[in-house]
Amino acid sequence: MENPTNTLQRELQDLKAQINTLEKGLEHKPDYGLGTGAAAVTNWELDLAMVKRLRERVSLIEQTLSQTDQNAYGICKQCGEPIHPDRLAVLPDTRLCIQCARNEQDSK
Ligand SMILES: [Zn+2]
């Protein structure tokens, strides 16, 4: 059974690598006009939007990992019971055990 924190660390590294790659492509904004220019600009803008989304994900994971450092990782914030490892494997950044997650859904 792998520690879910490792999964998040790895995802974080992947995301940062993707951001790096995308940012290299973003350094030179293509010119409009000249045949295929318009399509290139559209891709550039898509990449820019992608970087923004990836950055948001990175900050979410970093937040989760810093909470992990405060040793509450894998503990339900609602009832204080340990969250089942199977659940953490599927939802590494969940803060609720299955029971509390169900209760929360029922109350909506
Ligand atoms: Zn709970």
d(CA 37, CA 29): 10
Domain count, the chain: 2
pLDDT digits (tens, 9 = 90+) for 44-86: 999 999 999 999 999 999 888 877 665 577 889 889 888 999 9
Residues 106 and 55 in one domain: no
Q: Are residues 21 and 62 in the same domain?
A: yes
* Domain identity same for 47 and 96: no
Q: 81 C-alpha to center of ligand 1: Å?
A: 6
Report the pLDDT value the prediction gives residue 99, as an integer from 0 to 100.
Answer: 94
Q: What is the domain range of residue 80?
A: 74-108
The alpha carbon of 93 and the centre of ligand 1 are apart by a number of angstroms equal to: 14
Rounded distance from Cα 103 to ligand 1 centre (Å): 9
Cα–Cα distance between 10 and 40 in angstroms, integer? 31
| Residues 29 and 42 grouped into a single domain | yes
CA neighbor of 40 nearest in space, from 52, 49, 28: 28
